[in-house]
Amino acid sequence: MELSTIKLSQEIYRSDVEQIVDWLSDKEITNNLNEDSNAKDELISVINRVNMPILTHLFNNNCRFFTIKNIYGTIGFLRLVPKNGMVEIVITVGKKELWGKGIGHNAVYEALKKAFFDMRTDEVVAKIKKTNERSRNLFKGIGFEEVKQLESEVEYHITKETFFRKVA
């Protein structure tokens, strides 16, 4: 199995949350995220107040939350959030040494299958910080089209039809 071979897991374990807290402590990672600045503190609060090994039920409210795993374990997270008739995708590869190795591409590809087949959406949107060239190139390379420039982000969309043409 190669490094870029991944699976999306909906089971969220305490150790996954602890790993995400570590990533949210890294300025280089958080500079690229659109997460609420309180996200790290909220996760620490969850770890401290919930004494359970599996925390899946806390992460799948109003969205589908996945950890990204490869042969070495949890290496990132991905969220699919239904919004305004579409699904918004949010992805983070937390293991910086794996950036540029195809992990994000494979994770987004797998997430699009879940969005279009399982969630039955017709369109997926990604809002990416203007300064995050790596992610912008990732989404454009998969077939997302730039729809609009926001103040600090660029919004990209992909339709079910475009995705199906790319995989056919």
The whole-number pLDDT of residue 30 equals: 83
Alpha helices in 93-153 (DSSP H): 103-113, 133-142
The whole-number pLDDT of residue 132 equals: 92
Tokens 């017709």, located at residue: 122
Beta carbons of 64 and 79 less than 8 angstroms apart: yes
The whole-number pLDDT of residue 2 equals: 64
Regarding the domain delimited by 7-167, which CATH topology (the fold level of the hierarchy) does it fall under? Answer: Aminopeptidase (3.40.630)
The Cα–Cα gap between 91 and 51 comes to 27
The whole-number pLDDT of residue 88 equals: 97
Low-confidence residues in the chain, pLDDT < 70? 1-4, 35-37, 168
The Cα–Cα gap between 122 and 161 comes to 8
How many Cα atoms sit within 13 Å of 102 on the Cβ side?
8
Q: What are phi and psi of 139, to 5 degrees?
A: -70, -40
Prediction pTM value? 0.89
Residue at 49: amino acid letter: R
Return the domain boundaries, the chain.
7-167
The whole-number pLDDT of residue 3 equals: 59
The whole-number pLDDT of residue 142 equals: 94
The whole-number pLDDT of residue 138 equals: 95
The whole-number pLDDT of residue 102 equals: 92
Beta carbons of 105 and 141 less than 8 angstroms apart: yes
Residue 35 three-state SS: coil
Tokens 């987004």, located at residue: 108
DSSP string covering 76-97, please? EEEEEEEETTEEEEEEEE--GG
The whole-number pLDDT of residue 5 equals: 85
Burial class of residue 103, CB neighbours in 10 A (0-12, 13-18, 19+): buried
